[in-house]
Amino acid sequence: MELPLLVALREDGSVEPAVNPALQNQDLLVLFRKMLLLRALDEKAIKLQRSGRIGFYVPCTGQEAMEIGSGFALQEGDWIFPSYRDHGVALLRGYPLASLVGQLFGNASDAMKGRQMPNHWCDRSINLVSVSSPVATQLPQAVGAAYAAKLRGEKVAAIAYFGDGGSSTGAFHVAMNFAGVYRTPTVFFCSNNQYAISLPVSRQTASDSIARKADAYGFEGVRVDGNDVLAVTKVTRDALARAREGGGPTLIEAVTYRMGPHSTSDDPTRYRSEEEIAGWAKRDPVRRFTEYLRKAGVVDGVEAAKWAEEAREEVLRAVKECEGAPPVPPESLVEDVYAEMPWHLIEQRKWLPHAEE
């Protein structure tokens, strides 16, 4: 039997009790405002890249609900192994917007000193492990971190984010198998946005769903409406709690849609139709959650518009602050490799222009 798709937000504006995370109004507003911020960041970052002010960007328009909902379910101490489209999780967990924007510019405002591609960020203070370019390499790493936490007796979980394309990699199967055998506290979070760049999910697998693959490894797979922030919060929170309490791993498949390009290097008009995009646009997660909050009396139209504008202004302030930063100093080329810089790098640093003696 096909796995059911778990949905909280019904079309009539009510909430399915079994999938209701029962959040207070202040929590609903946190979700809402972070979704607005993520949408505003996407809009601005794409314009920055198109105007030549940054080199590259990976948008997540259409996937805000699964980003913010899953991030909200995490607790302090949990480990986060993101892919390059998961900056919403980072923002929700406390990664500063200015740090994320600075990393896009790769100048002195970037904590990583321009050594990583844009959209490859990390933050040790919140257990946010660095994004990697290779697809799904973070999955075995997340299982390793979860296994270490289990051996130490720590009540934490590790969540690993990946796309539907990542389920076609060897790393996916290795990670799933180890997690199942050793019952590691791992949540595998698959963002099934229907395309691995240009390849549709129907060409990825013959299974009726990606979540179904958990059966082969001896643990639970769950399908959730990835455009429903309440359902994502509930499903992810339950999976993380089960992992922390020794219940083993879970594979979550969040069914969603990437409204924009795979990256700013991609042209999605070459492989999908306007009709398909228009159909999914009716399920826009930001608009869907806005309508729910209005019907529930949590926000009104004036407040929603005001907060959307505030989100755009917050992004603009971060861009202004980071874009005005100077370039990374040349001497950083030979820094941060050794705890104590060896003699040959000290000599090489002297050869760099403007380097300090």
Q: What is the pLDDT of residues 327-350, one digit of tens each?
A: 999 888 888 889 999 999 999 888
Superfamily (CATH) of domain 5-326: Thiamin diphosphate (ThDP)-binding fold, Pyr/PP domains (3.40.50.970)
pLDDT for position 354: 62
pLDDT for position 15: 96
What is the distance between the alpha carbons of residues 324 and 119, in angstroms, rounded to a whole number? 19
* Known catalytic membership, residue 344: no
pLDDT for position 352: 83
* Known catalytic membership, residue 161: no
List Cβ neighbours of 166 (8 Å cut-off, separation of 6 or more).
83, 135, 136, 139, 172, 190, 196
What is the number of other CB atoms lying within 10 angstroms of the CB of residue 270?
Answer: 7
Burial 70-82 (b: 16+ CB within 10 A, else e): bbbbbeeebbbbb
List Cβ neighbours of 20 (8 Å cut-off, separation of 6 or more).
8, 230, 234
For helices 170-182 and 138-152, the axis angle rounded to 10 degrees is 20
What is the distance between the alpha carbons of residues 222 and 245, in angstroms, rounded to a whole number? 18
* Known catalytic membership, residue 237: no
- The one catalytic residue among 262, 288, 292, 349: 262
The SS3 assignment for 126 reads helix
- The one catalytic residue among 258, 288, 292, 349: 258
The SS3 assignment for 254 reads strand
List Cβ neighbours of 141 (8 Å cut-off, separation of 6 or more).
81, 129, 160
Residues of the chain with pLDDT under 50: 357
How is the chain split into domains, by residue range? 5-326, 329-357
pLDDT for position 357: 46
Q: Where are the beta strands (DSSP E) in 52-210?
A: 79-81, 158-163, 186-192, 195-196, 199-200
The SS3 assignment for 196 reads strand
For helices 25-50 and 97-105, the axis angle rounded to 10 degrees is 10
- The one catalytic residue among 10, 53, 203, 271: 271
